[in-house]
Structure 1
Amino acid sequence: MKTLKRTFQSLSVRNFRLFVFGQLLSVTCTWMMVIAQDWLVLDLSGNSGTALGTVTALQFTPVLLLTLYGGRLADRYDKRRILILANLAFGVLALALGLWVLLGTVRLWHIWLFALALGTVNSVEAPTRISFVGEMVGGELLPNASAMSAAYFNAARVVGPAVAGFLIARVDVGPVVLVNALSYLATVVSVALMRPAELHRPAVRPGKARVTEGLRYIGRRPDLLLPMALVGVLGLVGFTFQLTLPLLAKTEFRTDSATFGLLSSALAAGSLLAAFATTARRGRPTAAVVAGSALAFGALEAVTGLAPTLPVACLLLGLTGFAMMYFAQASNHRVQLGCDPRYRGRVMALYTLIFQGSTPLGALLTGWLSEQWGVRWVLYAGGLISLTAGAAALAAGPRFTRPPAPEDFPEAARPVDSPAS
């Protein structure tokens, strides 16, 4: 009982509890739409890995270009209002795509346009949402709340693809996308019902919150640079499952959308277990934990490429998902728990930029490599490069663990500029 209470400790905070319930429904339906969108792209393009890679690249290109400014907005303005507006925009975009599909007039370029618009909104929503977790629960409960966020995300990732595969086979893609459009209202309502007085906000909000100040802050923090570098490498070559899993289902195992959903759910199930495992974390993880989990992920992804049958692939994807989420949580906690709350929006914006911004290049590379050599080679290469990066970081770790000294940040001793009028 005590262990269970500790696991769900952050849910005792009303604002965070509302947030989790709204996100659980919304993210489940978002994963349903991801499966529907990818399946639609493969149908329209004749199973082209390049077409699928292009859609993914377009969705994440705005993240590469705009996320740092999204973090600036998160540090300067009310995060609740930003999240409400962003989720309303998500809903309108999903509604438009769903109607296109139902009318039977959707073309590949329509999906490209939708992906670009979705990525633009995401470049503001993602750093705001990630940094808002600390405001809802405070620093002491942040590791647990972050792990719970990963838990609901991966619970949705287990259920969403499996339901989507079932529904696509019976009612086609359009209704799945429309269900997702409606689901964004769950997040809007949950955020609107929060009590602002119970949020843990900085005493003074930066008036200008310059992007360059955030970059200088990170540049003087070697203990933040190592996890961010690893996140960049693994995001570029390792976390390519949005492309590899539909291709694995269609081109290697020659099965239908239900199998695609099963593969996605297997990966998410392992990730969910890792998320719950990290709820017990109470402090900042070491650099060795971050690097070691990256090494384990790389080894498992490479082995997954060898899977001879569907059941073996599901088992290996579950193990890979566990290592992937354990690394993602360890790197996230090392960065979030090591930065000044006044810079958190900009720091997590850079983290998001590195994590997701590398995806356009990774998506195009994955699409090309899968067409030239097959999807298994994508898993081999991504796993081996990730493994090498983890081993190198493990060896170099001691040089990137120096705790920051107060004299490194003279501006931290001064009051932050008051908000501009």
Structure 2
Amino acid sequence: MTIRLPAADGTLRAYEPRTEPQAFSAGTPFTSRTVFSAAHVVADPYADVSPGSPAAVDWDATLAFRRHLWSHGLGVAEAMDTAQRGMGLDWAGAAELIRRGAAEARAVGGRIACGVGTDQLTAGSPAGIRAAYEEQLAVVEEAGAQAVLMASRALAAAAKGPEDYLVVYGHLLRQAAEPVILHWLGPMFDPALEGYWGSADLDAATETFLEVVAAHPDKVDGVKISLLDAQREVDLRRRLPQGVRCYTGDDFHYPELIAGDDQGFSHALLGIFDPLGPLAAEAVRVLDTGDVKGFRELLDPTVELSRHLFQPPTRFYKTGVVLLAWLAGHQSHFTMVGGLQSARSLPHLARAYELADSLGLFPDPRLAEERMKSLLSVYGVDR
């Protein structure tokens, strides 16, 4: 069987899908690295929603996907960027997701960390921003989950300079009940975060970021770096206080950053580990044995898919992630909260299918092929 896929130049070309998937078995958590998959949410396709209305989430399918990730030994990073925070999922929806996700994690013994931000605000003073962070931190802590202090659009807009970041984050870290993960999300993921940490100069911003960590090392479990700059991440992680982890959020260079060098390595909190979950888990278990070469042989071939999904505008990577979840059979439809399924072109989606299929990511390649053909037919591609 072949499938005709559209190319960027508007032509159709034949592609022969694989017939057998790779086999990835469930497994226990890892010993050499702490690894989180930032998980997507599944929309309710039957909800009568309109643009700007609150998200309608299919809770059963959303939680089932988290159980899938936990079954392979991965942690779940909940209510993060991949879950469309600020791109279809509002704070009310995120709070419900945090409560449900944390309860499910307790039920199955899964690890979970949840995003804390200020997305209930559109703007605000530093005091109002602190209060918004506090409200969300309380929800996460009451749910029994680890907190990830995400970057704040409101703080980026209101801050006059580095001192405002030092004050806000210092206040939050002093009152956090348990060590948190600090998240530096670059403007390629969210243009509203340009100049975060008080400067558009990344060297100056890094100094402020490290000053926050150094002032509160007992309250920082780790830092998640999402700048798509491998050398900057390596330089930064070498300057972290003893005991503070670096979680890579670099969806372009993750194999080398997780593998590390003779001066250290990165743990992981990655959106690409949503579609790559079972394969990524298998690779990390190989790394647990000390086999760096085997780890790279499994994970390096996935980078082409990741770079494709995360190509500019990077923030729309969620569309490809949800497409692959649908093709893999983790949900019954290709619908996203906020209508974001329309954010990528058909040639982009077709290439994502091809790359994922070549990696053996689909448990049922025939199902993936039939679903891709049905999508193509909606766009007018004759079978």
TM-score normalised by structure 1 residue count: 0.27
Instruction: Name the structure with the higher strand share.
Output: 2
Which structure has more RCO (C-alpha within 8 Å, separation ≥ 6)? Answer: 1
Instruction: Name the structure with the higher helix share.
Output: 1
TM-score normalised by structure 2 residue count: 0.29
